[in-house]
Amino acid sequence: MKTLKKLSAAFLALCMIFALAACGGNDDKTNDNETDVDKTAELLENMTEFELPNGKASIKLNKDWRTEDVGMDTMLVAGTQLGDEAVFVFQFPKDGSMGATDFEGVESLVKQSYNTSDEKDLEAFEVSNATGAYGYTCTVQPEGSQACDGAIVYFETENAIYSVGFIADKFDEDHQASLMASLSTFAEIAE
């Protein structure tokens, strides 16, 4: 219960920090002839490494994004200056210190915190240096906040289970491509 309260508080901070712009975002689309490899390479060129506050994992995100301290060393939150896109990375150490030690427990905590609905499975994907990856697109609407679109993924390493979410006013193929490019850079940092 204590962990759920921490996650809920952290998510409410995320919502306040990155209140999704009601007017929507940029509708620019990429060239349909562009290959997935080219698109991923282009996305990665515009990314930089972000670390969890505890220094135990990193992931590349858009280099223009900013992070916000949400008071949890196992949670990274970053987003655009406009607040129309945000990413969270939750780390749940397998020692149980965050209250969940398996996928079911982690997914339950995340779903309760984000009040997810309309989940649709993502096509198969891989996360660098991790196993058991799965995820879904969904609507998220924490209590008292505007509903928005997103995707939430789960995976594990030897030391922890992770949940990574990408939230946007209108989550589309470009957002999904950015999320997948970021996941390809995930690394757990050895102590």
* Structural contact between residues 20 and 168, judged by C-beta atoms closer than 8 angstroms: yes
pLDDT at residue number 164: 96
Task: List pLDDT tens digits, range 120-132.
Answer: 999 989 998 899 9
* Structural contact between residues 80 and 92, judged by C-beta atoms closer than 8 angstroms: no
- What are the residue ranges in the chain where pLDDT is below 50? 1, 4-5, 8-9, 12-13, 15-33
Strand order in the sheet with 47-51: 47-51, 57-62, 187-188
pLDDT at residue number 23: 33
The pTM for the full model equals: 0.83
pLDDT at residue number 37: 74
User: Which residue range is the domain that position 143 belongs to?
Assistant: 2-188
Q: Any idea which residue has 């789960």 for tokens?
A: 154
pLDDT at residue number 18: 43
DSSP 94: T
- Report the CATH number that the domain containing residue 38 is assigned in CATH: 3.40.1000.10
Number of domains in the chain: 1
pLDDT at residue number 12: 43
pLDDT at residue number 2: 52
pLDDT at residue number 142: 76
* Structural contact between residues 20 and 80, judged by C-beta atoms closer than 8 angstroms: no
pLDDT at residue number 81: 87
